[in-house]
Amino acid sequence: MTEPTILSSLSSALSETIARTAPAIVSVHSHRSRATGFVWRPGLVVTADEALADEGEVDIQLTDGTRKRSTIAGRDHTTDIALLRFDGDLAPVKLSADIPALGSLAVVVAADRGVPTARLGIVSLSGAAWRSLRGGDIDARIELDVRLRRSQEGGLALNASGEPFGMAVLGPRRVLTIPSATIARVAEQLEARGRVARGYLGLGMQPIRLDDGIGAMVMNVDRNGPSAAAGIRQGDVIVALNGEKLSGVRALSRSLGPQSVGTVVDITVHRGGEPLQFKVTIGERPET
């Protein structure tokens, strides 16, 4: 009998890994869009938010060909995570919190019309936490050197040990992975509340250069928002937050994460050349 080669052993290991994962993979059909999802918890599927249509019914198709109607339990555009609810007892996957090393093998297990598919590649970038263009906090930047079709977006990315470390999505000119830690954090909130809470000052702002730095001119004020309640007006120039000089409007927006809701901040403004102090209780950003 011929001794197995390194390649044949690798091939067998990959095949077995994919076969173990495939039962938890589903196809997601919404309007004219097709994508992939995976069973995160019993009756709950995680998929790529960007791949979902904005309206209409959503079906999932299992590996045995069965189609089931699902409902959107919640979606978060900023992290590209959506959660679907369906009536079924498919076993969920167990996500690994480990971040794969640069250059390590990665397999994306996905589905197309319910039929399992797989793509093999490597981790081309493994870096620190980052913020998406839409303002979502992603716990690690993981890029994959692999080609994905649209229908495979939302598939599971596995490491060489067969452990799922995130969800593969199509980013600008590259395949990104939304890591397990981000999925767990966001999906928990989507299951509980249908959305991810984010801080809200109720201000429209524009950066303005000052003699001693950068300020944020208040262009409009939500009259029902927390800043209006505190006394901030249109035309005020925000110069400091909690006693620290403002470094820009983007920096101010970044401070309004989920943990900021309900906290009180000290905002210093210039009004008519005079400094004024306001205590503002950060609210929750409205859905619209």
pLDDT for residue 6: 87
Is the predicted pLDDT of residue 184 greater than 80, yes or no? yes
pLDDT for residue 173: 87
Q: Are 225 and 256 in contact (CB under 8 A)?
A: no
Is the predicted pLDDT of residue 1 greater than 60, yes or no? no
Task: Kindly report the three-state secondary structure assignment for every residue of 217-256.
Answer: EEEEECCCCHHHHHCCCCCCEEEEECCEECCCHHHHHHCC
238-252 tens-digit pLDDT: 999 999 998 888 888
pLDDT for residue 131: 87
Alpha-carbon distance 117 to 189, whole Å?
Answer: 30
Is the predicted pLDDT of residue 21 greater than 60, yes or no? yes
Extract the runs of DSSP E, i.e. beta strands, from 188-228.
199-200, 203-210, 213-221
Burial of 37: CB neighbours in 10 Å, binned 0-12, 13-18, 19+: buried
User: Which residue ranges form the domains of the chain, and what is each CATH number?
Assistant: 1-196 (2.40.10.120), 199-284 (2.30.42.10)
Tell me the mean pLDDT in the region 159-171. Answer: 95
Is the predicted pLDDT of residue 48 greater than 60, yes or no? yes
pLDDT for residue 2: 67
Query: Could you give the count of Cα atoms lying within 13 Å of 183 in the half-sphere of its Cβ?
Result: 31
Is the predicted pLDDT of residue 113 greater than 90, yes or no? no
Burial of 16: CB neighbours in 10 Å, binned 0-12, 13-18, 19+: exposed
Residue 272's region, left for phi above 0, alpha for psi from -120 to 50, else beta, is left
pLDDT for residue 53: 86
pLDDT band with cut points at 50, 70 and 90 for residue 288:
low
